[in-house]
Amino acid sequence: MTQCQFITEASLPTEFGEFRLHAFEETNGKEHLAIVFGNVNNQENVLCRLHSECLTGDALFSARCDCGPQLKAAFKNIAENGSGILLYLRQEGRGIGLVNKIRAYALQDLGKDTVEANEALGFDADLRSYDICFDMLSHFGITSVDLLTNNPKKVEALENAGVSVNKRMPLHEGVNE
């Protein structure tokens, strides 16, 4: 069953070149982006990044995480590769949402790590889901990727959804205390 559908697209000029934004919407109303550089349609082993939204890291330059530097590195790697796709997934704070993420930050200020803080708030350590990635990649006819990630769970999630991961390429950027 299709969990999300394509809505619209537009250009996205960046410091790394001209990308295309493709907006998708889940059946529950949650919106996500596929950010594309070059021709990825019906290609094999497309350079791909699954990036979960992180307002504090991506836009506010937080040093609590490595999200912002990893996002920037992904854009750079995709542009240098000549083509690729970045799926920007709206699942802030490992899926707990922005306000709860700030609550978790307050617990981190008291000495808890990310997992401990999420669990203290009554959440699992990580509530992110990658189920919709299959629908988004299918829109472009992509069935196999070279995945930019440090997280082996993303490889497993894509393969369970029917997307072949040719190789996992670690993205070591901005590691903070």
Q: Report the distance separating Cα 52 and Cα 150, nearest Å.
A: 13
Q: Which of 64, 90, 103, 126 is catalytic?
A: 126
Q: Report the distance separating Cα 138 and Cα 17, nearest Å.
A: 24
Whether 109 is a known active-site residue: answer no
Q: Report the distance separating Cα 44 and Cα 52, nearest Å.
A: 23
What order do you get walking across the sheet with 4-14 strand by strand? 4-14, 17-26, 31-37, 84-89, 46-52, 144-148, 164-169
Q: Which of 49, 94, 128, 135 is catalytic?
A: 128
Whether 146 is a known active-site residue: answer no
Q: What amino acid positions are annotated as catalytic residues?
A: 126, 128
